[in-house]
Amino acid sequence: MEEENQENLNNENPEQRFFNDFISHFYQNVGNSLRALHLDIVEYAVLKSFVIWKLGVVDFSTTLKIVAQEHYLGITVALTEYYKSEKNMDQFEIALRIADLTLLLGPIFNSYREMINLYEKLQDKFEFLNFSMPEERRSMDL
């Protein structure tokens, strides 16, 4: 079976290899962490809001970055209340859980950068989309 997998890897074209590498890195860096946390629906929604606001403010003004930080603080206060009332967690457990959610942002944004790199490598294959990446997004430092 392993020989068959190796043969399939050798027969891949460069586009397939880039895509498979991206999926593999994403699974290792983000998927495993998400699975280990066993997020419930509320925590998943919180993580999504963190990611959306964090990605959205990269190209925005200082004012919007402040709004994004206020959003993060408001969500963490609400999440703290959720943990206290619904999960009966103490302050230490709450702090660890919120830290775990926040620490997922790094691997998610690294995967986002990898996705942009993948797109740039395969850009000629996606010409039909007529999509161009803003220069600020290509060189962003998160």
- Each of the 142 residues of the chain gets a pLDDT tens digit; together they read 556 555 555 566 777 887 788 888 888 889 998 999 999 999 999 999 998 887 665 666 788 888 888 999 999 999 999 999 999 999 999 999 999 999 998 898 888 888 888 888 777 766 655 555 555 544 444 4
Task: List, as own/partner pairs, every contact residues 26-30 make where C-beta atoms lie below 8 angstroms and the sequence separation is at least 24, other chains included.
Answer: 26/111, 26/114, 29/107, 29/110, 29/111, 30/104, 30/107, 30/108, 30/111
pLDDT reported for residue 142 = 45
- CA nearest to 26, candidates 122, 91, 117: 117
- CA-to-CA distance for 120 and 40, rounded, in angstroms? 35
Q: How many domains does the chain have?
A: 1
pTM: 0.70
Residue 6 sits in which domain range? 2-138
